[in-house]
Amino acid sequence: MLKLSKAIKKILRRNDLDQYLTKKYLDYSLTIFSLFLGYYLWWSLQDLVFFTFIIWMILSPVSSRFLAKIALCLLFFVPLFLIVRKNSQAEQFAILAYYFLILTIVVWAVELKKDQKSSGRKLL
């Protein structure tokens, strides 16, 4: 036990952690962890993918336009599924589209706030 703690201290002192503590590694680890968490909590595939997407989106932000495009794509499939009488799939796509619309608005609000800040700085 003593040996182990000494080894850890040595590594920390040598700053070996630096090479692993990059944004890339950390983001990958957290995204994979979110997959494991959803799997452990026995979420459906749809919920699991959506949750992982949110985590990835927080770590590597995308524009509100991109999210809005996804929402529109999903909405486009809803009437198609309804035409071929796949009601349950249509319902799932509609729910996903709704989630993405909410995300779009949240991200858009964040972007707006950032824009206001940067334009305020410019004015100053």
List residues binding other proteins (CB under 8 A): 12, 15, 17-18, 21, 23, 26, 30, 33-34, 37-39, 41-45, 51, 54-55, 58-59, 88
How far apart are alpha carbons 46 and 66 in whole angstroms? 20
Nearer to other proteins, 41 or 72 (CB): 41
The nearest distance, CB 55 to other proteins, in angstroms, is 6
Nearer to other proteins, 42 or 123 (CB): 42
CA atoms within 13 A on the CB side of 17: 9
Nearer to other proteins, 39 or 72 (CB): 39
What residues contact residue 68 under an 8 Å CB cut-off, 6+ apart?
Answer: 100, 101, 104
The nearest distance, CB 64 to other proteins, in angstroms, is 17
The nearest distance, CB 59 to other proteins, in angstroms, is 6
The nearest distance, CB 61 to other proteins, in angstroms, is 8
Nearer to other proteins, 2 or 84 (CB): 84
CA atoms within 13 A on the CB side of 115: 7
CA atoms within 13 A on the CB side of 106: 11
Give CA separation, 98 vs 53, 65, 73, in Å. Answer: 15, 15, 12
